[in-house]
Amino acid sequence: MTYTLRVSRFHPDSPEERFFSEFEIDAEDGMTVLDALIWLKENKDGSLSFRYSCRMGVCGSCGMLINGYPMLACNTQLAELGAAVVTVEPLPNHPVIRDLVPELSSLFDKHRGVRPHIERGEPDVAPKAELAQSIGEHKSYSQFSYCIKCGICVSACPTCATDPAYTGPQALAQAHRYSQDSLDDGAPARMEAVDKEHVIFNCHYAGACSEACPKGVDPALAIQLFKRRMAAAAWGLWEAQKPTAELPQQGPNLKPDIPPPPARTA
């Protein structure tokens, strides 16, 4: 099938001259949006700029706005879009470096701001034995550990669209992920870090972040659970022992009726 790709163009030397370039492409079976962009760059326009790495939905580099919805280009086949015209734009709520390449420095700065690592009560004391963790303790946070930092949840968040200072769902979900870990002692410091203006209580629970997340992390759920924990801690109701209940696991957004990929070549 022949598709028309409308690709947003932006050059930092001419920030006011944003426009769309249109290309015709004959798609092979199983061709993804990223495959199409790579073909265009190799055969039509070498100046086209976009970011990608793994090409298998793991690195998160190729997040883009495809027909008005944030997706991973490597995980989206042209055929599943159901349209002959495919419009590709950079992720919203992020500055643009060039064409389809978003500037993600703010995403990572906010991620670092929630202390996204295991913190022990006595960091200078080496453990004398293995730090065991039960299956239930692991499953209570495992879903939130699948984040690939693609920035798609931030691009879908209406609060991020209206408040650039807002920390955003990606970082806040990771604040819950590490605080929920039974090996971690850093929850009080994270609660203090997020209990500020433009942070966790600016979330209005629209749920767009969870709907758009390509890995099924469900950031909206993580934020609400961390809010609940903060409220309980403020009232002195949070027990010292971390909960071990297994959460209902939300897998990736499965896509029905996707054509099979082409035959393996290696």
At 182-223, the pLDDT tens digits run 999 999 999 999 999 999 999 999 999 999 999 999 999 999
**Where residue 14 falls among pLDDT bands split at 50, 70, 90?**
confident
Average pLDDT value for residue range 23-42: 95
Give the pLDDT confidence score for residue 248 in this predicted structure. Answer: 56
**CA distance linking residue 89 with residue 78, whole number of Å:** 15
Q: Are 60 and 51 in contact (CB under 8 A)?
A: no
User: Has residue 91 got a pLDDT over 50?
Assistant: yes
DSSP secondary structure letter of residue 78: G
Return the SS3 of 216. coil
Q: Model-level pTM?
A: 0.85
Mean pLDDT of the chain, nearest integer: 90
User: Has residue 118 got a pLDDT over 80?
Assistant: yes
**CA distance linking residue 31 with residue 48, whole number of Å:** 19
Q: Is the pLDDT higher at 124 or at 81?
A: 81
Give the pLDDT confidence score for residue 247 in this predicted structure. Answer: 57
Q: Is the pLDDT higher at 229 or at 249?
A: 229
Buried b (16+ CB within 10 A) or exposed e, 111-125: beebbbeebeeeeee
Give the pLDDT confidence score for residue 244 in this predicted structure. Answer: 46
CA 155 to each of CA 20, 104, 176, 232: distance values in angstroms, whole numbers, following the listed order: 20, 11, 20, 31
Give the pLDDT confidence score for residue 132 in this predicted structure. Answer: 87
Per residue in 247-256, pLDDT (tens digit) is: 555 555 667 7
Give the pLDDT confidence score for residue 252 in this predicted structure. Answer: 58
Q: Mind listing the domains of the chain with CATH numbers?
A: 2-102 (3.10.20.30), 105-121+132-234 (1.10.1060.10)
**Where residue 162 falls among pLDDT bands split at 50, 70, 90?**
very high
**CA distance linking residue 170 with residue 213, whole number of Å:** 10
DSSP secondary structure letter of residue 165: T
Share of the chain above pLDDT 70, in %: 92
